[in-house]
Amino acid sequence: MTINIALLGYGTVGKGVYRTIQQHQGRLQKLLGEEIKVVAILVRDIKKHTAPDQSVILTNQYEEIQQLENVDVVIDAIVGIEPAVTYLQSAIEKGRHVITANKEMFAEKSNKLRELAKKYHVSVGYEATVAGGIPIIQTLKKLLNANKVTKVEGILNGTSNFILTKMREEQLSFDNALALAQELGYAEADPTNDIEGFDAYYKASILSELIYGEKPKSEQVERKGISSITKSDITFFNELGLRYKHVATIEYAHSHVKCAVRPVLVESNHPLYQVEDVQNAIHIEADIVGSISLQGPGAGMYPTASAIIEDLIHLKEEDREYTFNEESALDQQSVKTSWIAYGRSALLQLPEGAEIIKMIANDTWVVEIEGELSIKDACFIEILGDTTRLKEMKKIH
């Protein structure tokens, strides 16, 4: 018996999937009990590609793949909502399992694909849509079913993390750090999705649906990029022992999902503090197990291929769509969060319920805010981690 695969896209990810299947054929056969074979590859420009094997059909026409009778699984390694969602819908309607690495498409169309898959009794794998090589989807699906996940904080975009790391370590301006990321292939020619938080938002939306059974409403999401952060900002807060990170946060409280993607300041006692360069990390807080952190490469040929192959192994298992989203007493409590109030005008803008804790530098205060508040002004920056050190430190000039 053979599991036959059609591969949509033959760029970095597509090539990684093909090579991984070839190089690990023996292990995959032991796990699945069947040979795994790529029988067809869809490319946009057929003149730029060569079939990796004479037995593989290379085509730029999806209809040719759809007409094949021997395809069991379709793997989506292309970008953009269309034509990817149309291709996967037609594959599902033909009774084929699908696996995707397309985060934008899946964040937008996951409900439609899942409903269709249920109707046709096939599976949808999407591990590769969030944090590349970190097995966060399977961890949440298989290992945390007894837990109620109360909060998730994640560095979900390697490009923005790389830029902030280089700005701090090498004293680069934002523009120079971005140029370096582009030179190394970490950032696209148009980096908007990465540096303005769209990419991280897509991933947070996918996690939210898995954990809580619903996505955050886009109009209620606080999304702020990193392009306004200056070299002097980085240096100043580094001297205070804090590091800038671009963090996506999701939690379920007061009967709805809260989601934010924004720059925050991270204390050295928080798991995200040591996550540098293009690494991704996800910090989970749950009611039974407590805190769990996973860290690893968020993108690249083989990390993404690894996630896709793991989905291939789990495809025929019964899928649980999400864990718990019921209210608890904890959800109804007001939680205090710590912030930096930064700049001469900051104290004039303190919201109701804010308490000034300590001045730690000229025109810089630690404040605590109780309740469900969102501060979008540039002079307020949330702090992640235990702030005891900041509250006890002597004022610096």
Q: Which residue, 356, 343, 358, 367, is CA-closest to 394?
A: 358
Helices 12-23 + 25-32 axis angle, to 10: 70
Residues in the chain: 397
The Cα 37–Cα 57 span in angstroms is 12
CA angle 52–58–61, rounded 5-degree value: 160
Query: Residue 239, Cβ neighbours under 10 Å: how many?
Result: 10
Quickly tell me which residue has 């995959």 as its tokens.
28
Mode of pairing for the β-strands spanning 279-286 and 149-155: antiparallel
Which tokens sit at 102? 């397309």
Mode of pairing for the β-strands spanning 97-100 and 73-76: parallel
Helical spans, DSSP H, in the chain: 12-23, 25-32, 62-66, 84-93, 103-120, 136-138, 158-169, 174-183, 192-195, 198-212, 231-239, 301-314, 329-332, 388-392
Which tokens sit at 364? 């810089």
Backbone angles phi, psi at 75, to 5 degrees: -110, 125
Q: By three-state DSSP, how is residue 147 classified? A: coil
144: left (phi over 0), alpha (psi -120 to 50) or beta: alpha
- DSSP secondary structure of 185-223: TSS-SS-HHHHTSHHHHHHHHHHHHHHHSSPPPGGG-EE
Which tokens sit at 208? 């939210």
Return the H-helix or E-strand segment holding 358: strand 354-361
Q: By three-state DSSP, how is residue 69 classified? A: coil
The Cα 8–Cα 64 span in angstroms is 12
Q: Which residue, 182, 127, 179, 187, is CA-closest to 157?
A: 187
Q: Which of 103, 141, 203, 245 is catalytic?
A: 203
Q: Clarify whether 103 is annotated catalytic.
A: no
Q: Which residues are catalytic?
A: 203
